Amino acid sequence: MDNLNEQFERFIELKDITVKSNGRIILSIPHAIIPADRITACIGPNGAGKTTLLKLLDGLIKPDTGTLSYSFANKTALVLHHTPMIKASTTTNISMVRDADSKINTAEIQQVIERVGLEKLASAPAHKLSAGERQKLCLARAILQKPNLVLLDEPTANLDPNTTEQVEEIIRQFDAQDTDVIFSSHQLAQVQRLAKYIIFIDHGEIKEKGPVGPFFSNPQTQAAKRYLHQELLAD
């Protein structure tokens, strides 16, 4: 399956990757090619290593061994599941991206606030926003960074259906504007709605990957079959 890179306009190649924490191996990936030219979902049980993989792809953490190489000049934006807010307004929290890029202007910030639907809360204290509103704030910051690869960790966890739909639409807008998306999720219906490609992680290893349709209809590994069976029963 790793010989498919010729199908991908953009991809990330991982070789001999290990990531350890307190002496325990969190990720172990001898070789994998991950597409970065379509919406890709990273799924697997809790503690499988999904968040660690996203942090690795972002460069937030470095592998203990091995290398990552990108087939493109990557500019990533990572949105983690829990992002703390400073005690200031929504606008001020979004404007913090100026610390990394001083060229971002006030008009762009106002535009992105409207794009994610936070215009009525622009002056509200960010630390008092709901979970869904905070997620929109984080997505606004990601948009302002003008990335070509957005990495989202459980982007709709604990959100109501209406907000989930709004966040999913923002993800589709990234894709429509040629910003690639890799996201983790436990919501298999969401994965099938959004993603074109699956990376299935279990115990820190990529056990299976490929197009969404075949993965769900005919998983090739026992680990994937077991996971899908348990998650579908839970739904």
User: CB pairs under 8 A, 24+ apart, for 223-232?
Assistant: 224/200, 227/43, 227/44, 227/45, 227/200, 227/202, 228/188, 231/186, 231/188, 232/188
CATH number for the domain formed by residue range(s) 2-234: 3.40.50.300
Residue 2 has pLDDT above 50, yes or no: no
Amino acid at the residue 117: G
| pLDDT tens-digit series, residues 107-126 | 999 999 999 999 999 999 99
- pLDDT band (50, 70, 90) for residue 233: low
Question: pLDDT > 70: what percent of the chain?
Answer: 95
Domain residue spans in the chain?
2-234
pTM of the model: 0.91
Q: Rounded distance, CA 194 to CA 176, Å?
A: 12
Mean pLDDT of the chain: 91
